Amino acid sequence: KAGVTQTPRYLIKTRGQQVTLSCSPISGHRSVSWYQQTPGQGLQFLFEYFSETQRNKGNFPGRFSGRQFSNSRSEMNVSTLELGDSALYLCASSLSDRDESYEQYFGPGTRLTVT
């Protein structure tokens, strides 16, 4: 079974631009979560989507947004990029129903560099 895939793997953007990252979960997984990982702050939760609805949200500004499609694929968007947004963005999928949650499987991540 194919794992979680993320595209692109590497991205360089300029301050003020916007970026869209994509995540395809493991087949059959309906929950997709996004995390930001930096050396200083570690792994921080951005948001979770389940059945096309945002189910959980972290403490990030409104410049960070996401969505999920009917095939469970998810995208996250960061507008008006800042230097501090440089990070590894990880997507994780989970075989989750409405009441139960299971372990999350992480994708390889997208390394975003903002200059």
By beta-carbon proximity to another protein, the closer residue of 14 and 62 is 62
The residue among 10 and 14 lying less far from another protein, judged by its C-beta, is 10
What is the DSSP track for 50-105?
Answer: ETTEEEEE-S--TTEEEEE-TTS-EEEEE-S--GGG-EEEEEEEE---SS----EE
- Footprint of another protein on 47-106 (CB under 8 A): 48, 50, 55-56, 58, 90, 92, 94, 96, 99, 101, 103-106
Report 14-43 residues binding another protein (CB under 8 A): 31, 33, 35, 42-43
Judged by CB, which is closer to another protein: 24, or 94?
A: 94
Strand order in 64-68's β-sheet? 5-7, 19-24, 74-78, 64-68
Closest CB to another protein among residues 50, 81: 50
> 78-99 burial, b for 16+ CB within 10 Å, e for fewer?
beebeeebbbebbbbbbbbeee
Give me the residues that bind another protein (CB under 8 A), please.
Answer: 31, 33, 35, 42-45, 48, 50, 55-56, 58, 90, 92, 94, 96, 99, 101, 103-109
